Amino acid sequence: MPGIFEALPGIETPVGAISKGLSQMWEETGSAGKPSPSSEHAKAIQVNFVLHLGRRTDAEDAVRQFETAVRFSRRHPSRVVVLCPLADDTGVTEMRAKVYGECTLGKSAADTRCCEFVMLSYPRSARANLESQVSVCLSTDLPLYYWAHRFSDAAKIADYRFLLTTARRVLIDSATAPVDALSYPWPRPENVRDLAYARLLPVRQLIGQFLSRYPRESLARGLKGIRLAHGPEVAAEARALLAWLKDRMAACGAVGFAAELSPSGDLAPRAFSLAFAYNDKRSFSWNADMAGSHATFDADFGGGRTVMPVSVGLLAPDSALSEAMFF
pLDDT for position 182: 92
pLDDT tens sequence across 287-309: 999 999 999 999 999 999 999 99
**Is residue 193, in this structure, part of any structural domain at all?**
no
Q: What is the pTM of this model?
A: 0.94
pLDDT for position 96: 96
**Is residue 165, in this structure, part of any structural domain at all?**
no
CA distances (Å), origin 251, targets 136, 211, 243, 247, 285: 46, 13, 12, 6, 19
Report how many domains make up the chain.
2
- In the listed set 123, 142, 161, which residue is the last one of a domain according to the structure? 142
**Is residue 192, in this structure, part of any structural domain at all?**
no
**CATH at 245:** 3.30.360
**Is residue 126, in this structure, part of any structural domain at all?**
yes
DSSP string, 180-221: TTTTS--SSGGGEEEHHHHHTHHHHHHHHHHHTTS-HHHHHT
Are residues 11 and 129 located together in one domain of the fold? Answer: yes
**Is residue 297, in this structure, part of any structural domain at all?**
yes
Name every residue whose Cβ is closer than 8 Å to that of residue 327 and which is 6 or more positions away in sequence.
Answer: none
Are residues 137 and 8 located together in one domain of the fold? Answer: yes
Are residues 100 and 230 located together in one domain of the fold? Answer: no
pLDDT for position 41: 47
pLDDT for position 327: 93
Are residues 121 and 27 located together in one domain of the fold? Answer: yes
Are residues 129 and 27 located together in one domain of the fold? Answer: yes
Are residues 102 and 208 located together in one domain of the fold? Answer: no
Q: Please list the pLDDT of the chain residue by residue as tens digits (327 residues).
A: 579 999 999 999 999 999 999 999 999 988 888 878 865 545 578 999 999 999 999 999 999 999 999 999 999 999 999 999 998 888 888 999 999 999 887 676 667 788 999 999 999 999 989 999 999 999 989 999 999 999 999 999 999 999 999 999 999 999 999 999 999 999 999 999 999 999 999 999 999 999 999 999 999 999 999 999 999 999 999 999 999 999 999 999 999 999 999 999 999 999 999 999 999 999 999 999 999 999 999 999 999 999 999 999 999 999 999 999 999
pLDDT for position 72: 96
Domain span at residue 116 reads 4-142
Residue 144 DSSP label: E
**Is residue 41, in this structure, part of any structural domain at all?**
yes
For residue 214, the tally of other CB atoms under 10 A from its CB is 17
pLDDT for position 42: 52
- In the listed set 114, 142, 170, which residue is the last one of a domain according to the structure? 142
C-alpha span between 234 and 199 (Å, rounded): 11
**Is residue 169, in this structure, part of any structural domain at all?**
no
Q: Which residues of 278-292 are buried (b: 16+ CB within 10 A; e: fewer)?
A: beeebebbbbbbbee
C-alpha span between 105 and 116 (Å, rounded): 15
**Coil, strand or helix at 15:** helix
C-alpha span between 237 and 304 (Å, rounded): 31
pLDDT for position 51: 98
Are residues 134 and 215 located together in one domain of the fold? Answer: no
**Is residue 155, in this structure, part of any structural domain at all?**
no
- In the listed set 142, 161, 192, which residue is the last one of a domain according to the structure? 142
Q: Is 227 exposed, middle or buried (0-12, 13-18, 19+ CB in 10 A)?
A: middle
